[in-house]
A and B are shown apart, each in its own frame.
Chain A
Amino acid sequence: MGRQIQWEPSLTTAKAKAKKGKKLILMDFYNNL
Chain B
Amino acid sequence: MGKDFIPLQIDFNKNKVLVKRFGVKWTPTIIILDADGGEHHRFIGFLAPEDFIAQLILGKGKVEFNQDRFDQAMQCFQEILVRYPKADAAPEAQYYLGVAKYKASHDPKQLKLGLEALQRDYPNSEWTKKAQPYALIP
Q: Which residues of A contact B (CB under 8 A)?
A: 3, 5-8, 10-11, 14-15, 17-19, 21-32
Contact = CB atoms under 8 A, between A and B. Distances in A.
A30 B28 contact: yes
B1 to A, nearest CB: 7
A29 B32 CA distance: 11
B28 A28 contact: yes
For A15, A19, A22, A31, the residue with the greatest tally of chain B CB atoms inside 10 Å of its CB is A31
Contacts of B7: 5-8, 26, 28
Nearest to B33: A25
B10 A23 contact: no
B83 to A, nearest CB: 18
Contacts of B6: 8, 14, 17-18, 21, 23-26
B117 interface: no
A7 B30 CA distance: 14
Interface centre among A10, A24, A32 (most CB of B within 10 A): A24
B27 A31 contact: yes
